[in-house]
Amino acid sequence: MSAPAIETRDLTRRFGRRTAVEAVSMTVPEQAVYGFLGRNGAGKTTTLKMLLGLIRPDAGTARVGGVDVVRDRMGAARKVGALLEAHGFYGNLSGRENLDLTRTLLGLPKREIDRVLEVVEMTADAGRRVAGYSLGMRQRLGLARAMLGAPPVLILDEPTNGLDPDGIADMRRFLRSLPERTGAAVLLSSHLLGEIEQTATHVGILGQGRLVLEGALERLKADLAPEIAFAVDDTARGAALATARGFEVATADDGLVARLKPGEDARTAAAALNRALVEADVAVFSIGARPRSLEGIYREVSAPSPSPKTTLQPQPEYA
């Protein structure tokens, strides 16, 4: 079995008395698009900088492409391409010239520039000075630069920043297709939950420097405290019944939404609540599982006082 694309164990970094990243153990599987979420100041940038060998951890380990970042920074750097929030382009040079600088430092053949320019559809504008580029063009050029040499791991910090809606949709499609097209795993840091939800296969959520949730996105949505919507004729009585049976309940015009406890079997719980409602003469018109949105999960786990990292157990699917 090959090593994960990125793996950290108890990664910790302190700045003076403040612990920016505390015992983060994250795993980005090969060919995954891993959405890295967290509020401002949660420790995302510090974690990314440690993965890129830009700052040293106070404790713990970080491996990129199976290479320890602290012990062999150069070896790990060969495995990764990065698009950072600050693009770092030289405005006096053209897009092609900027790429050529990095290509030279990486010791790659010239044709690599044409390849990555084609991938991000920037060939026509590559001869223009970067000073005249829009933010979106700089983002695409940054992505092209990160892909020079086809590294097996890509670390992208807010790659949709500054893009217009069409550009965002293009970027989303592009990022989703990257693992299949290039074989690379993508670590995608973003504050746009919808963006991550539509792009990522896996997510990791940081809260106050700690990784509070991690897993495959689809499984998280399915397993983490699912919600069941009941369309009923008497919402108030239905809600009271559900609450009495220990459900967390929200009401809407056409019924109620009962949230299950993490790990609770959704089918059994739905059947039990349905039976209770019917026996209490509350008419039930429909029952439906409501898929959890990433936003809901995010708000739940990234609250100011996060609980330790949630461990997910496989749950039976609720049909």
Question: Which residues are near another protein by CB under 8 A?
Answer: 15, 49, 52-56, 74-75, 77-78, 80, 82, 84, 86-93, 97, 100-102, 104-107, 129, 145
Amino acid at position 210, single letter: R
Comparison of 45 and 302: residue with beta carbon closer to another protein: 45
- List the one residue out of 7, 105, 88, 102 whose CA is nearest residue 51: 7
Shortest spacing between CB 53 and another protein, in angstroms: 7
Comparison of 107 and 304: residue with beta carbon closer to another protein: 107
- Strand 33-38 relative to strand 202-207, pairing: parallel
Comparison of 77 and 175: residue with beta carbon closer to another protein: 77
Shortest spacing between CB 287 and another protein, in angstroms: 52
Residue partners of 212: CB distance under 8 A and separation at least 6: 205, 206, 301, 302, 306, 307, 308, 309, 310
Comparison of 78 and 191: residue with beta carbon closer to another protein: 78
201 by Cβ neighbours in 10 Å (0-12 / 13-18 / 19+) ranks as middle
For residue 69, give the 3-state DSSP assignment.
Answer: coil
- Cα 207 to Cα 21, 188, 195, 287, distances in angstroms: 9, 17, 19, 34
Looking at residue 151, the DSSP 8-state letter turns out to be: -
Shortest spacing between CB 57 and another protein, in angstroms: 11
Shortest spacing between CB 26 and another protein, in angstroms: 19
State both tokens at 309.
Answer: 């990292």
Comparison of 137 and 269: residue with beta carbon closer to another protein: 137
Round to whole Å and give the CA distance between 58 and 61. 9
Give the phi and the psi of residue 287 in degrees, each rounded to 5.
-130, 135
Cβ atoms of 146 and 156 within 8 Å: the answer is yes
Shortest spacing between CB 158 and another protein, in angstroms: 14
Comparison of 1 and 105: residue with beta carbon closer to another protein: 105
Shortest spacing between CB 46 and another protein, in angstroms: 9
Comparison of 138 and 309: residue with beta carbon closer to another protein: 138
Beta strands across the sheet bearing 284-290: 248-252, 255-259, 227-232, 284-290
Sign for the CA dihedral angle at 315, 288, 270, 251 comes to positive
Shortest spacing between CB 78 and another protein, in angstroms: 5
Shortest spacing between CB 252 and another protein, in angstroms: 47
Comparison of 100 and 233: residue with beta carbon closer to another protein: 100
